[in-house]
Structure 1
């Protein structure tokens, strides 16, 4: 692209990377859940998530500008809080990759269920999960790389149908579904489900952290990264808000009862042809992300093994040049989680795991400022934005169920055991 300088990413490359990282299955499949929980107040849910995601993204931008290498929550946490917390966050990065892969796998089958009901049948769904998960694990082991081919395809396939949906659907909106506006919003907020709806929809906003981890590969990151983060989050927030408004305007109360909201809303205008078009676009988008995550998920544990923080077998290369053991364990855990929970459950679990990582990074901003570490980019308004991000993140965590928190606690315990019996000794050596 013309904005590239050598191998560095320019502003527009960073911008489109952010769009591709954020817009995925969440906005295709979750508007129904938000509307079912809080009705018209789902518009407020989008705005709350937009603020939280922007504030957290800015925290990543500042921490990434401190280090002279590609950033990650593991690096920030290790520097800010010490080896133990850093290692726990590193393990969480692996866990997040696993749960995200499982969520997208079930998201793909949920979307497929709109045209092929067996995909969501309790029995056949499990067969599909095992078959697709195992296939992607083997593909990963064989070292087949799809990222370069899929990147442009995924971006176009997810944006074009959504843009058409907004620009055509806005002319078919039914006004009575919105009025009286304020009383309907107040009714939704009074249900007490605001926190639950916000927690689930936040999944659609995640992915912004991927921008900050590649700051080293960006052209003038202190200028372009913060600017790109702000515009990416503004674009996604406005985009999501318009999608939610059009969905409500086309379906009204029916929005809360469908599992494929955008496809169903499109069918209200164009019938079965529109439903099929959006469903296929959804499958291409989610399918591409599912494949990408199957390659990304094992890499976090490989990175820890490469630093000798977990047993080196996790990064031992086989005949195809890939880490077979890391891929095997990651694939088995992913399949197990996808067999256990549906898309909504896994999306919420992903959010909870990410929030712990995000709270750590937002807190790192305050720690680094206290130590007076030089940041090439500094968030405005002093400590206000990191503090608000932490408070909102803790509030969202408090909305999660005990069942999901148990999974997170198990992850923390496993990380603690690995640290005490292995990683601590390795870190001391290094």
Structure 2
């Protein structure tokens, strides 16, 4: 039997991995912040983010149909813009995977703390972080088969409660809560609140970019990966729009002050039992994306080692066919960050870094087309979609604070030092 059927991810496993990589803490915890900024126009925020995310997903779909190896944005940037830019994007991709994984661990424990306050205690919180990190690191080390089965089961388990929330909640919507839509849009556009709200909610749409990081672990990636990326983004965009509409229609102005908006919306119809039901769904959802990130994050550093940017030990396979050292070092850094920061701190670190990564991939599409590189999937409408993705991403970058921009510049400088003192020397030996 070949490796493609038994030990690699097929289309549906890639699709489920994508769902798990995206639907998580963001949509469960952030709608209230968007509503507090722009009111009912938060629906427009979802639509803007859906357009941007779909444009970016299409860019990743085209580039992933050209390459069949690990690395995602790192591979595309290296091919399009050279070794240095590729290295910087590769380091950011690894950083994004690590910080996102750490953020979801803390998001899980924060939600769990709503039921069991002990998990909010610093001592028990740290013990739980260490325990979760060790468990997921070992699960990852044991190989694709174990992670694939658990990933698929959790994805199905978390989607069922959310579908029930949508199907039942739609009958209890108060349509009068949507009447100030136009004034809120005008206010948001004039004050800049719309841009800030869009930047915040964009975290809920991220994760699709990490799919291509593990391309070598997928069956026929140049065919299955583009289809999966596009399918995942269309599904999540429609899903998020329905959830936002329901949260507004069930909570009204109370949405602005709710810390657990979907759970609060369910409680408005079914009381405490509904609240607990969605809390458990939230835990399953965040748990699912945490597992997905534990699988994806180490593959980024493997891709750097594949290209001689890092020592080969980062891609040395063990008895289970997985890169043990890459998993170990990634897990150790993830646990350290999760011990240091809370969910909001960690989530805020990923958004701007991802926008830099996304811009490089959208630009890579234009470069590859100019070089006439063969792509099994090609985005329609010529350069319009990649250029739209670039413009919207730059607009979102403009909404960020100076502090976050400085943080990214520091990250670039650290990457530059690594490149000069190790990677560049290794590349000269080739």
- What's the TM-score, normalizing by structure 2? 0.87
Q: Offset at 1:397?
A: 1.6
Deviation at 1:183, TM superposition (A): 2.0
In the TM superposition, residue 225 of structure 1 has moved relative to its aligned partner by 5.1
Once the two structures are overlaid, the 10-residue window that deviates more, 182-191 or 140-149, is 140-149
Residue of structure 2 equivalent to 1:196: 196
Structure 1 segment 282-361 matched on structure 2, within 5 A:
282-315=282-315, 326-361=326-361
2:252 maps to 252
**Cα distance 1:405–1:106, how it changes in 2: closer, same or farther (>3 A)?**
farther
Query: Could you tell me which residue of structure 2 aligns to residue 113 of structure 1?
Result: 113
The equivalences for 1:17-416 within 5 A come to 17-67=17-67, 69=69, 72-120=72-120, 125-126=125-126, 128-130=128-130, 132-133=132-133, 136-137=136-137, 146-212=146-212, 217=218, 221=222, 226-315=226-315, 326-416=326-416
Deviations 1:66-115 (A, max 9, x none): 23545621111111111111111111121011111111012102211322
Q: Once structures 1 and 2 are overlaid, which stretch shifts more, 184-193 or 353-362?
A: 184-193
Residue-by-residue CA offset, 1:16-57 (whole Å, 9 max, x unaligned) = 443333222221222112112222111111001111111111
CA distance in structure 2 between the partners assigned to 1:14 and 1:322 by the alignment: 18
Structure 1 residue ranges without an equivalent (≥5): none
Judge conservation of contact 2:16–2:151 (CA < 8 Å) in 1.
no
Aligned residues, how many? 426
User: Does the 8 Å contact 1:41/1:189 carry over to 2?
Assistant: no
- Partner residue in 2 for 1:429: 429
Q: Residues 126 and 71 of structure 1: is their aligned pair in 2 closer, same or farther, counting only changes over 3 Å?
A: closer
In structure 2, relative to structure 1, the CA distance for the partners of 1:249 and 1:411 (3 Å cut) is: same
Q: Sort the Cα spacing of 1:194 and 1:346 in 2 relative to 1 into closer, same or farther, 3 A.
A: farther
SS in 1 for 2:195: helix
CA distance in 2, matches of 1:328, 1:221: 29
The secondary structure found in structure 2 opposite 1:275 is helix
Q: Distance between the aligned counterparts of 1:270 and 1:221, measured in 2? A: 46
Farther-moved stretch of structure 1 (76-85 vs 291-300): 291-300
Cα offset, 1:390, TM superposition: 0.8
How far apart, CA to CA, are the structure 1 residues paired with 2:117 and 2:202?
27
Structure 1 length-normalised TM:
0.87
**More displaced, 420-429 or 228-237?**
228-237
Q: CA deviation at 1:214?
A: 6.2
C-alpha displacement of 1:421: 0.7
CA RMSD of aligned residues (A): 3.1
SS in 1 for 2:271: helix
Sort the Cα spacing of 1:49 and 1:112 in 2 relative to 1 into closer, same or farther, 3 A: same
Distance 1:53 1:129, change over 3 A: same
Cα deviation 1:344-376 (Å, max 9, x = unaligned): 332232121211111111111111122222223
- Kept in 2: contact 1:29–1:107 (CA 8 A): no
Query: 249-258 or 164-173, which moves further after superposition?
Result: 249-258
Give SS of 2:382's match: coil
How much does 1:320 deviate? 8.7
Shift of 1:122: 6.1
Q: Which digits, 9 at most, give the CA deviation of each residue in 1:102-132, with x for residues without a partner?
A: 1101210221132223434567545544554
**Corresponding residue SS for 1:288:** helix
| Maintained 8 Å contact 1:28/1:282 | yes
**In structure 2, the residue corresponding to 1:35 is in which secondary structure?**
helix
Following the alignment from structure 2 to structure 1, what is the Cα–Cα distance between the partners of residues 89 and 149?
Answer: 31
In structure 2, distance between residues paired with 1:334 and 1:406: 22
